[in-house]
């Protein structure tokens, strides 16, 4: 399958979800505050919150009722209880039918006016208006809630999985069927959530149920074909290929377990409903569509082979030894690869990772030294070298083994890149027996400047004075004098 059409449906869904959060829901925090402030300052709490407690008692929810009766209505109103009450469709319906505030009540007219104003404020909040409420179910809310999210983190998590799963499913079955799976899955996720949350005054929103449907279809399409799974063995991380159905079983077990024991703020059963709906649709589509899974896997395999570095096969063999805890054989292979490909820093770091499991071996010391002599191109690579240095100093047995030229290079790198504590330590070791050819004055000048920038003028002054005493470079001495006098 050389032709790879643009997955416009997946891209469009991601764009719509992002647009809704940033532009449609963007001002909701202010709207929520405005509604809650109005409610808590009105007469509504004094009439509705005691009524809600009585309603809960009638519904055999005495524990919640007792909790409400322990606090003042206006205090509870400020805590957001009004929003929870609003999601209890049965209670709100009884309010509207004047079960709890009678028409003959002396406060009826004022209550009716303030209740109308409060509901008008709530109607301006997209999340409150269109999230799916099991106690007041609407098909329109089922669909709208798929595009609503509680915040950026909620959106990001869903969009990452939509990106990963949507592209694959859309490529396999086309845009129309991919959208069918997405929306039907979202609807069944809402229904599944409602079966377990009805009567609790809760609501659900987010694309996770619809994305779970894509996962269900994905698993069905790939069936017993092997797909990559992440795993770790002690200090080593990699992927292993296993049948896709393993993912379905693991996902269902995880979601049901967390539903029974975990955070009730997460709609686990909505995820399960979406997943099962997607799986059912996946089976249905497989019965009458020719889904090119094998062709896609062959494409991916060719792409993977084309991107494999020349050392990959030998590296994989080394990792097989690591899995079997035959670390000496793995180290020997990695050492040979590093000789053949000295410019490949990924190989060098993998060699160090394997070597650190036995930090008394020459492999650990040698791989660390070669990392220390790298010239970092940016702050991130300098930090990687610094992290390896700290790990090496802590683990190396019987003790760290660093040649003087390596210490000089590290002192220079750490001083330039802002790792001042270790830069100082290394430079102080070198200063005990300085040699003119080592140009320690250059490192000392850099370090002193960095220390001054870090608001450590006394330490900086020590190095400026050392330069004046020992440096033979007139340009460096001149700079040190100028900086020292400022």
Are 298 and 321 found together in one domain? no
Q: Tell me the per-residue pLDDT of 421-448, one tens digit each, with 9 for 90 and over.
A: 999 999 999 998 888 778 899 999 999 9
Q: What is the mean pLDDT of residues 173-177?
A: 94
Rounded Cα–Cα distance for residues 178 and 10 (Å):
8
Q: What is the mean pLDDT of residues 361-389?
A: 93
Select from 128, 163, 180 the last residue of a domain.
128
Query: Around Cβ 33, how many Cβ atoms within 10 Å?
Result: 10
Are 289 and 195 found together in one domain? yes
Are 89 and 218 found together in one domain? no
The answer as to whether 133 is a domain residue is no
- pLDDT surpasses 60 at 265: no
Name the pTM for this structure: 0.56
Which residue shows structure tokens 């809402």? 190
Which residue shows structure tokens 């497989």? 286
Rounded Cα–Cα distance for residues 284 and 390 (Å):
57
Are 398 and 438 found together in one domain? yes
Upstream peptide bond of 135 is cis (omega within 30 degrees of 0): no
The answer as to whether 18 is a domain residue is no
The answer as to whether 56 is a domain residue is yes
Are 291 and 334 found together in one domain? no
The answer as to whether 232 is a domain residue is yes
The answer as to whether 9 is a domain residue is no
- Which among 142, 144, 120, 123 is positioned nearest to 133, based on CA atoms? 142
Select from 98, 128, 158 the last residue of a domain.
128
Instruction: Tell me the CATH number at 353.
Output: 1.25.40.10
Are 263 and 184 found together in one domain? yes
The answer as to whether 479 is a domain residue is yes
Domain containing 50 equals 26-128
Are 359 and 296 found together in one domain? no
Select from 269, 303, 337 the last residue of a domain.
303
- Which among 456, 374, 437, 364 is positioned nearest to 401, based on CA atoms? 364
Are 354 and 454 found together in one domain? yes
Residue 230 confidence (pLDDT): 47
Q: What is the mean pLDDT of residues 382-386?
A: 93
Residue 232 confidence (pLDDT): 42
Are 293 and 339 found together in one domain? no
The answer as to whether 194 is a domain residue is yes
The answer as to whether 253 is a domain residue is yes
Are 285 and 321 found together in one domain? no
- pLDDT surpasses 80 at 263: no
Three-state DSSP state, 403: coil
Q: Angle at Cα 247 formed by Cα 308 and Cα 225, nearest 5°? A: 55
* Structural domains in the chain (count): 3
Are 121 and 73 found together in one domain? yes
Are 466 and 327 found together in one domain? yes
Mean pLDDT of the chain: 86
Rounded Cα–Cα distance for residues 12 and 447 (Å):
52
């Amino acid at each position: 399958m050389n032709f790879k059409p643009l997955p416009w449906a997946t891209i469009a869904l991601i764009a719509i979800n992002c647009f809704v959060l940033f532009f449609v829901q963007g001002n909701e925090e202010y709207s929520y505050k405005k509604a809650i402030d109005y409610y808590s300052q009105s007469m509504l709490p004094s009439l509705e919150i005691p009524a809600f407690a009585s309603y809960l008692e009638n519904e055999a929810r005495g524990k919640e009722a007792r909790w409400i009766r322990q606090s003042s209505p206006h205090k509870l109103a400020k805590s957001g209880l009004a929003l929870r009450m609003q999601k209890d469709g049965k209670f709100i319906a009884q309010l509207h039918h004047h079960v709890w505030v009678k028409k003959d009540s002396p406060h009826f007219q004022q209550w009716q006016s303030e209740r109308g104003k409060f509901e008008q404020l709530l109607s301006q909040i997209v999340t409150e208006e269109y999230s799916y409420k099991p106690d007041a179910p609407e098909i329109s809310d089922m669909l709208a809630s798929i595009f609503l999210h509680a915040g950026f983190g909620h959106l990001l998590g869903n969009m990452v999985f939509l990106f990963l799963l949507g592209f694959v499913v859309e490529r396999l079955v086309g845009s129309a069927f991919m959208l069918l799976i997405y929306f039907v899955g979202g609807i069944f996720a809402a229904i599944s959530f409602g079966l377990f949350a009805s009567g609790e005054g809760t609501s659900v929103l987010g694309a996770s149920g619809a994305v779970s449907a894509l996962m269900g279809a994905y698993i069905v399409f790939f069936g017993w074909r092997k797909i990559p799974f992440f795993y770790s063995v002690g200090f080593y991380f990699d992927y292993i290929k296993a049948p896709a159905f393993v993912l379905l079983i693991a996902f269902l077990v995880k979601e049901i377990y967390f539903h029974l024991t975990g955070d009730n703020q997460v709609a686990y059963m909505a995820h399960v409903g979406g997943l099962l709906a997607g799986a059912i649709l996946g089976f249905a589509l497989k019965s009458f569509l020719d889904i090119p899974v094998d062709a896609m896997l062959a494409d991916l395999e060719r792409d993977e082979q084309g991107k494999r570095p020349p050392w990959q096969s030998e590296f994989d063999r080394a990792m097989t030894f690591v899995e079997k805890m035959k670390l000496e054989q793995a180290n020997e292979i990695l050492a040979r690869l590093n000789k053949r490909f000295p410019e490949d820093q990924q190989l060098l770091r993998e060699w160090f990772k394997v070597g650190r499991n036995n930090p008394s071996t020459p492999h650990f010391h040698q791989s660390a030294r070669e990392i220390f002599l790298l010239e970092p191109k940016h702050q991130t690579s300098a930090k990687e070298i610094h992290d390896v240095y700290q790990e090496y100093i802590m683990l190396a047995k019987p003790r760290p083994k660093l040649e003087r030229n390596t210490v000089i290079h590290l002192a220079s790198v750490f001083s330039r890149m802002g790792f001042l504590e270790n830069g100082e330590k290394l430079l102080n070791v070198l200063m005990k027996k300085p040699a003119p050819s080592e140009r320690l004055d250059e490192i000392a000048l850099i370090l002193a400047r960095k220390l001054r920038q870090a608001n450590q003028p006394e330490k900086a002054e020590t190095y400026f004075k050392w330069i004046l005493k020992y440096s033979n470079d007139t340009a460096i001495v001149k700079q040190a004098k100028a900086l020292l006098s400022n």
